[in-house]
Amino acid sequence: MITGNSYAYHQIRGILDAINESKNQFKEAYFITHPACSIIAGKLNYKKPLTCEKYDGSFDVLLNATRPDIIIHSSRLDHFIKEKVENVNITESDIYYKEFKRAILNVAQYTPRLIIIEPNPILWKYKYHEKQDPTWNRVKKAVEHCQNCILVPTEELFCQKTCCPAVDPQTKLGMYCDETHLTPRYSLYLKPVIIQAIDNN
């Protein structure tokens, strides 16, 4: 099962190719998504005025009925934390960390393997780590408590030492459809790391 928000929608070519080319054989794949919400953000979805108010736990019945062999999740997350927060020394009492942890463990109980893809860079004026770290560092800390969770890092796929380019230096082609979403061509960059996560027994 593939879940997420608009990130998953724009990455679907790379994700499906990875599923098809993995060593594991799957009979079918389900794809459930929403433009802005994320099932691993739990009640933090309530902060988004985009019909996410009832999103937390809304797929539990479906996940329990299907019990997917693998859940692959990809979503933009930076919009769930707007205020300035600690990015390194995240405590157990941190409200954002606690909610990511609760939601991730809830999803993970329905599958032998939950694969979470790190959000790809966002082409805004903000620096990459200033934008991504508040949420992604909390997801990483939460996954430390999840035995069947696998993180798929993407920073090295799309970023160089000093920047995350919008144009492929070799092909000179644009890598993004807009300020946030990968083109189908560059979603294929994700394929090897997703295959590795799927085949990692």
CATH of the domain at 108: 3.40.50.1110
**H or E segment to which residue 86 belongs:** none
Residue 149 pLDDT greater than 70, yes or no: yes
pLDDT for 18: 97
Mean predicted confidence (pLDDT) in 165-171:
91
pLDDT for 72: 98
Residue 39 pLDDT greater than 60, yes or no: yes
97-129 confidence digits (pLDDT tens): 999 999 999 999 999 999 999 999 887 655 788
Strands 31-33 and 2-4, sheet pairing: parallel
Average per-residue pLDDT for the chain: 92
pLDDT band per the 50, 70, 90 thresholds, residue 87: confident
Closest listed residue to residue 97, CA positions, set 86, 108, 109: 86
* Structural domains in the chain (count): 1
- What's the predicted TM-score (pTM) here? 0.94
Residue 50 pLDDT greater than 90, yes or no: no
- Which residues of 42-199 form beta strands (DSSP E)? 71-74, 114-117, 149-152
Q: Which domain holds residue 124?
A: 2-199
